[in-house]
Homo-oligomer: A and B are copies of this chain.
Amino acid sequence: MENFAGRLASLLSSLVFRGASEVHRRPGFAVALYVAALCGVLASTSGKGAGRRMSESPQNRLLRSLEEAGLRTVQRRYRVGDEIYAAGAPADSLYFLLSGVVRTCKNYGDLKEATTALLKDEGVFGALDLDGEGESQQETAEALTEARVVAVRKSALAWLVKRNPEASLALLSAFSERGRQAEELHGILLRREVASRLAGLLSTLGERFGRREAEDEFGPVTIDIGLTHRQLADMIASTREAVSKAMVELRCEELIEVRGDRKIVLLDPAALSRYAEDGSLRRKSQPARG
């Protein structure tokens, strides 16, 4: 397979010509590169392993590349409520979520805080760039459940990106996934009524954190994380009380249901997202327009 030869060639050439100048700045990297080359070779000679890698998530491929390059990464475990980083902390690393749920939130107005992103089991967070070394985090990240997180220094990622094209693609993919999610939240915030925003939020939470009750494609979906009304409110720019009232409304419409352990069940995801679009269900059956 040319894949094998290609990887070997590019890794070696980087090593010989470019890595050399890095050696005095980053002792140990030259060795790491040799290791990387060897690992790459060994991995791709095992046909089955290579095949499985193709179906791996981009993030896993990226992290594996880091390991293979022997770059030091810090994996850490957090418990419920633990702070991963606070606003103002140096933004010199990116964080990759391996398992658990993490949320990032922005503080503003001195006492208000707003959840800006919610990640589960995968995804990158931290200031999403590779250059802003000197800057500081704009938001706070905390674990909502037990979580395993890998912190990678941006300089290490930049180094890897320059040498490993697969890693570049993986990182780009991680960035764009986050972009997609941000856009989705943005769309939700544009709705005027609280109930609409809430419906939209629950709808996308269902898509991302949902667990289907049955194998039924359109059946009920349970949102698998416990969220307080306060947290929901923080995501849709509203208040606890308003969320509480909106929940009643959605329950009356039989769009959702709240289980004993506070988890939310979307009874009819499709109708819920329609509700979010239309602002409400005032006109139930008016498909014909114009």
Contact = CB atoms under 8 A, between A and B. Distances in A.
Interface of A: 2, 5-6, 8-10, 12-14, 16-18, 20-21, 106, 108-110, 112, 114, 116, 128-131, 138, 158, 161-163, 165-166, 168-169, 171-173, 175-180, 182-183, 185-187, 189-192, 237, 277-279
Contact of A189 (B110, B128, B186): B186
A116 B163 contact: no
Contacts of A182: 179, 182-183, 186
A230 to B, nearest CB: 15
27 contacts: A2-B17, A5-B17, A9-B13, A9-B16, A10-B10, A10-B14, A13-B13, A106-B190, A108-B187, A108-B190, A108-B277, A110-B277, A129-B172, A129-B180, A130-B173, A158-B169, A161-B169, A162-B168, A162-B169, A165-B168, A168-B168, A172-B172, A175-B176, A189-B190, A189-B237, A190-B237, A192-B237
A109 B175 contact: no
Contacts of A128: 175-176, 179-180
Identical chains bound together, number: 2
A190 B239 CA distance: 12
Contacts of A21: 2
A210 to B, nearest CB: 21
Chain A binding surface SS class: helix
A34 to B, nearest CB: 17
Contacts of A16: 9
A9 B18 CA distance: 9
Nearest to A14: B10
A114 B187 CA distance: 8
B172 A130 contact: yes
Contacts of A130: 169, 172-173, 176
Contacts of A168: 161-162, 165, 168, 172
